[in-house]
Structure 1
């Protein structure tokens, strides 16, 4: 690519991605060219006629090989935007997905609808990963304080770094444990995006997910519900009266999750919230007030 213009390199890269059956070929090419050159998308357009240096061409080719090998753009860049927040990633964390913003939306709706609060809102995010859900909520709720838990110490380091970079470290604490095992309540709001893929389905996932997201964050056991069987009873015990649990569900799982919630005494007085694809994605249960 040395000696090519920025625009020619972009078009060439997009064509290679299309030939490699990458659906978002044009966008991925623009993003990776921009990252290699240290430019945003507007900057890439403005620099269209500039010729690439040898170092820039080498960097673009390295990015191209990684993307053609199935590595997601977010992994290549080491960062992913979620709820408008730039989040650093690591090998121990999932790439946050737009579907998960549905959990944030439902949690905020329920808070705004009037959780019975007489103190600073206390939030727990079980299996926090990069900290995406917790940090999104804290960014919207300036009086809230949150705890993020994860079994992976490496994931917690990433989440803690994200909290610091976003100026939220003073309202977020991170604890190494299995879901809520090391927490003591009460909490007004508990959220989680647990592993929910059936073990037998892992092999059928896309290369981007199967080969690059941590298995611990994907594998939900034989029926995909193992994590919910652990989380829901823990949450029911830790919620304050009137407090709410909101979890992400896999496709077709919301009804079973609701059944697990009612079995622990949580009430289902809020409808399941669908994501943009129409999948019933965010499920809420509430602990009855005293």
Structure 2
């Protein structure tokens, strides 16, 4: 659609699809519909039904700019300002990590470990609030806490909780240092930074655009996992559980960390791709 000509919704979709495909975006057709629909406030069915509707020049330019950003690699979640997690529509921006499907395993395991009835759970490094809000979606009676060192991330999480009508106690600070030693917790969950700062994957894909502080940790990616393991033993009720997400090849090291700090029944669980992604341990009685 040349800039000097008018364009319809259908032609805008076709151009967006071509440009995304040329940039090797695997799901170019789907992402074209998402981006154009986002700007026009229309779903796919409406765009098909009104495909011959003419667009204003400003709309055409806005669509081209959004497609250009996506073709350059900017994550579609940031461009749309939203990512679904555990069937929850969560707002996200560059101040927090993009929730990923493999993290749903952490939610599944936490639900298995939460005691029946009233319980207190904290999500350390909550980011968008995805994990704690998913837990509340299944167990609305929980006393839910979330902490993060980033004020920007906490603002995103608090906004998501408000939109979903959920109550969470938010704390700003580094891991369990953000909250008082008492009362004790039934379950601690965390998806902390666990990527080695020298990992070449940081220069590819969505990772290039996500906040580096939420991705990388010292000691080969294990530093924050070690800190949480060290802090958690004294902050859990007897029989309480610590559950950690980590890198695909870090499970043996994380099991060793939990065992070193006195956790029992230390076990790792595999994500849908077959990687040991979650390690959990029980606080002694």
Q: TM-score if structure 1 supplies the norm length? A: 0.91
The counterpart of 1:11, out of the listed 3, 10, 14, is 14
2:158 paired residue number: 160
Partner Cα separation in structure 2 for residue 222 and residue 139 of structure 1 = 35
| Offset of residue 4 of structure 1 | 2.7
Partner Cα separation in structure 2 for residue 96 and residue 12 of structure 1 = 29
The counterpart of 1:21, out of the listed 24, 32, 35, is 24
Query: Which has the larger displacement, 84-93 or 191-200?
Result: 84-93
Note the residue ranges of structure 1 that are not aligned, 5 or more in a row.
none
| Offset of residue 154 of structure 1 | 1.4
2:207 paired residue number: 209
Indicate yes or no: 2:43 matched with 1:40. yes
1:255 paired residue number: 252
The alpha-carbon distance between structure 1 residues 202 and 158, as it changes in their structure 2 partners (threshold 3 A), is farther
CA contact (8 A) 1:202 1:219 kept: no
Indicate yes or no: 2:68 matched with 1:65. yes
Partner Cα separation in structure 2 for residue 228 and residue 82 of structure 1 = 23
CA deviation map 1:234-289 (0-9, x unaligned): 111111111111111111111111110011111125x422222112111111112x
1:231 paired residue number: 228
1:49 paired residue number: 52
CA contact (8 A) 1:99 1:276 kept: yes
After superposition, the CA RMSD in angstroms is: 1.7
| Offset of residue 202 of structure 1 | 5.1
Indicate yes or no: 2:178 matched with 1:175. no
CA contact (8 A) 1:7 1:48 kept: yes
CA deviation map 1:138-184 (0-9, x unaligned): 1110110111111111111111111111100xx30111110111322
After TM superposition, the runs of 4+ consecutive aligned structure 1 residues lying more than 6 A away are: none
Q: TM-score if structure 2 supplies the norm length? A: 0.93
2:271 paired residue number: 275
Note the residue ranges of structure 2 that are not aligned, 5 or more in a row.
none
Aligned partner of residue 220 in structure 2, secondary structure: coil
Aligned partner of residue 36 in structure 1, secondary structure: helix
Aligned partner of residue 198 in structure 2, secondary structure: helix
| Offset of residue 76 of structure 1 | 0.7
The counterpart of 2:91, out of the listed 82, 88, 91, is 88
Indicate yes or no: 2:268 matched with 1:285. no
CA contact (8 A) 1:199 1:222 kept: no
Partner Cα separation in structure 1 for residue 52 and residue 178 of structure 2 = 57
| Offset of residue 83 of structure 1 | 0.9
Partner Cα separation in structure 1 for residue 30 and residue 265 of structure 2 = 41
2:263 paired residue number: 266
